[in-house]
Every structure is written in structure tokens, then in C-alpha cells.
Amino acid sequence: MFKRLLLLKFFPAKTDCGLLTLRLASATPLLLRHGVEKLTTFSQMAGHFPNPLHIGAVPSLLFATLSDGICTVLLMLGLATRWAALIIFVNIFVAWSLVHHFVLFGPGGDHGELIVLYLGTMAALFLAGPGKYSMDGWLEK
């Protein structure tokens, strides 16, 4: 009885529901906070956007817009999920490493834990895939 209670055996595991929840819970705030901003104020941001890879401010902003504005929608839909998660992971990792210098705590580290959560989520979605409640799952049928 204790083992059943400890392992929550009375509540069946639903991996596909978990992956749907993970996709929506991670992509929605990323889209609303960063994607919409980049999509609606692209021209204003183009002149002063960080250029950590030395490819130019506009190409850097284009990649960040692809990541935060387009790939987040793809992630929510579960379409090209693994590609979308990989692109988002790369964008966030570049920003964290080259712009924020891996700051996690202390001054300037106010978003460090959120960055690590996004990176972990994107890595998990890249490795696990979208689950059956996705457009990718529908395309596999």
C-alpha cells in the first residue's frame, strides 16, 4: 500500500499529456514576454540589439525573433518540435553565455534560474519529442 501511495500508482502516468503541458507551459511565456516584443518592435530593436556572435545586430535579432517569435508558436502547436526546441535552446544558450556570461546569482543574475529552466525544458523536448498530442504526432499517423 505504501509503495502504491509513494509511486502514485492510483494516478496513471500520461507521458503525452506531460509533454503537451511542458510545451505549452514553456513556450507561452517565452512567446508573450520575448517573442511578441521582437515581432512588434523589430525596427526599434534593430539598432541596439546585442551582437554576441559578431554577425551583426540585425542578423542576431532575426535569429532571436525566429527563436522567440516563431519557434515558440511551432512548439505550442507541436510542429517541427525538435527543430524548434533546438533553435530556442541555441538562442537562449548564446544569450546566457555570451551576453549574460553565465550569471546565475547575484548582481545581473536576476533571470539566471529562468534561463536554466528554459534550457532544461528545451533539452528535454528536443530529446523526448512532442508526444502524440501534437501536429508532429498527427503527421506520424
The 10s digit of each residue's pLDDT in 20-56 is 999 999 999 999 999 999 999 999 999 999 999 999 9
**DSSP states of 46-59 as a string?**
HTT---TTSS-HHH
pLDDT at 108: 66
Q: Which residues of the chain have pLDDT under 70?
A: 106, 108-109
- Side chain identity at residue 115, one-letter code: I
pLDDT at 109: 67
**What size, in residues, is the chain?**
141
pLDDT at 52: 93
Confidence (pTM): 0.91
